[in-house]
């Protein structure tokens, strides 16, 4: 298996622009997680899905952030409009089930908002 695939690997955008991050989980995994990593706040869980259904989005910082999982093999995290403080590395991870199983992380998307 290719592992969790994220695109793009790097994104540079201007403040106010819409940003869409993409994730393809490992085939057969039922749970998908979006994390954000910054120097100040470390690794934070933003939202997670089980069987394509959002379970907990309490980590989503603001209404400017939204996430979807239209099918078992694809998820997006969208920021509209983007702000400089959104600059971070965004990770997608997947696992067989929500609890107890290892979460496999993608390579991350480094987002820079100028």
Partner 1 sequence: AQTVTQSQPEMSVQEAETVTLSCTYDTSESDYYLFWYKQPPSRQMILVIRQEAYKQQNATENRFSVNFQKAAKSFSLKISDSQLGDAAMYFCAYQSSNTGKLIFGQGTTLQVKP
The candidate with the shortest Cα–Cα distance to 23, out of 112, 111, 108, 113, is 108
The single residue among 31, 75, 82, 94 that binds partner 1, judged by CB under 8 A, is 31
Under rule CB under 8 A, residue 56 binds partner 1:
yes
Cα distances (angstroms) measured from residue 18 to each of 8, 81, 91: 14, 5, 18
As given in the structure block, the two tokens for residue 29 are 């995994």
The footprint of partner 1 on residues 10-29 (CB under 8 A) is none
Backbone angles phi, psi at 85, to 5 degrees: -70, -5
> In the range 79-98, which residues lie near partner 1 by CB under 8 A?
89, 91, 93, 97-98
d(C-alpha 101, C-alpha 12), whole Å: 34
Report the residue number, 81 or 87, with the smaller CB distance to partner 1.
Answer: 87
Under a CB-based contact definition with an 8 Å cutoff, are residues 15 and 80 in contact?
no
| Min CB(101)–partner 1 separation in Å | 9
Minimum CB–partner distance for residue 99 and partner 1 (Å) = 4
- Closest to partner 1 by CB, 9 or 80: 9
Residue numbers at the binding site for partner 1 (CB under 8 A): 31, 33, 42-43, 45, 48, 50, 55-56, 89, 91, 93, 97-100, 102-105, 107-108
């Amino acid at each position: 298996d290719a592992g969790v695939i994220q695109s793009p690997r790097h994104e540079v955008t201007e403040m106010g622009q819409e940003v869409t991050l993409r994730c393809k989980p490992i085939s057969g995994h039922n749970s998908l997680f979006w994390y954000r990593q910054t120097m100040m706040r470390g690794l934070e869980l933003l939202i997670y899905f089980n069987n394509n259904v959002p379970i907990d989005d309490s980590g989503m910082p603001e209404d400017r952030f939204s996430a979807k999982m239209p099918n078992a093999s694809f998820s997006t995290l969208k920021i509209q409009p983007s702000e400089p403080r959104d600059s971070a590395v965004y990770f997608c991870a997947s696992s067989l089930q929500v609890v107890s199983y290892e979460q496999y992380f993608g390579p991350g998307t480094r987002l820079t908002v100028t």
